[in-house]
Each structure stands twice: as structure tokens, then as C-alpha cells.
Amino acid sequence: MQAQATTIDAVTEQILAEQPFLSRLAYRLARRAADADDLVQETVLRAFNARDRFQNGTSMRAWLATILRRLFLTDAIKTKRRATQTDTDAGDVLFYAGATTATAAQELTYEQTLERIDDRIKDALERVPDTYRRPFVMFALDGLSYAEIAERLSVPVGTVMSRIHRARQRMKARLTESSALTA
């Protein structure tokens, strides 16, 4: 049997060539080698699946860094929100934030929610203007859909989407700035 030759398209080659950069960036954000490796792997997978959306002439490194940072932020916030343990005697799920039921955990105040978030992320989030922060928190921490947020804030869905995007941009800039200072 003859081995089939595999060809890798130019975008895939560029993605693979940026893995050392992604590893360094992921480690600066995640601070643990295993988490950084997972983050790089997920970033490469997402980039590979979306490679047809990459625009030639733009920076591959910037595109991949954006994917990686968004994955990191989303995962960090979800991890803090979902931090649970099981009560082995009763088999019930208890939330680290001190709530004894899922309903009680959903009723946490904004300040209580912030207590569960990593300090660097909390600092970045607190520096985002309230106009952008509120929809971002409702989306990322409360798990509300764009439509639900739009209804609660009495604004169009497009406005919610742009405010969440702007919150992400400002948080990313702050986290990048703080990572550069600690590196």
C-alpha cells in the first residue's frame, strides 16, 4: 500500500507555527503548565475549525491571541461561577460561595459574585464602565442570553452584544497590560 500524501493549507501552517507564542501567552495567563497546554490546544482547535474565516493580510498572531484570551476569560469566569463540591453524606451539590442550594447561589449579589473571581480578572472587570460591565456580568456570570439581557436593560439586542464586546476588549487590554507588567 502506498502512503497518501497529506497537504496542509497555508493557514493551518501559520496556526501551527504560532504554537510556541501561544504557549508563552497561555502560561502567562493560566500560570499552570497543564492549564496553559489545555488552553493552547483549545485555541488551535478553534482556530483550525474557523480557518476559513481568517482574513489574509491580517496578523495570524493577533487572531490567535484574541481566540486564546477570550477562551481564558470565558473559562475563568465560568470556572468561578461553577465552583461546586458534593456533600458526601447527602449527595447534594454545595456552592463554595456559601450557598446551600442552586437557587441561593443564583441570588448572590454582585459583590458576592466578585468575591469568587480571580483578583486580576476582578480588577479588570471593575475598571470597565458600568454601561458595559452590567451586560457582561449578566452574560458571563449569570448565564443570561442576549435577548434576556436586552429585555432586562430595555435596550436592543445589538446594543447588548456591542456592550459585551466592548467590556471584553477593555478587560483584555487590562489583563494584557497586567500580564506584561508581571512578566
The predicted structure's pLDDT at residue 92: 42
138-148 per-position pLDDT tens digit: 888 777 888 88
Residue 90 CA to residue 105 CA, distance in Å, equals 18
Who has greater pLDDT, 21 or 175?
Answer: 21
Contacts for 109-116: CB closer than 8 Å, 24+ residues apart = 110/137, 113/81, 113/137, 113/141, 116/80, 116/81, 116/83
The predicted structure's pLDDT at residue 81: 56
Q: What is the pLDDT averaged over residues 23-51? A: 87
The predicted structure's pLDDT at residue 91: 42
Residue 66 CA to residue 126 CA, distance in Å, equals 21
42-87 per-position pLDDT tens digit: 899 899 888 888 888 888 988 998 898 888 888 777 766 555 444 4
94-138 per-position pLDDT tens digit: 444 333 334 444 445 555 555 656 677 778 888 899 899 999 888
Q: What domains are defined for the chain?
A: 1-82 (1.10.1740.10), 117-183 (1.10.10.10)
Residue 157 CA to residue 146 CA, distance in Å, equals 6
pTM metric for this prediction? 0.44
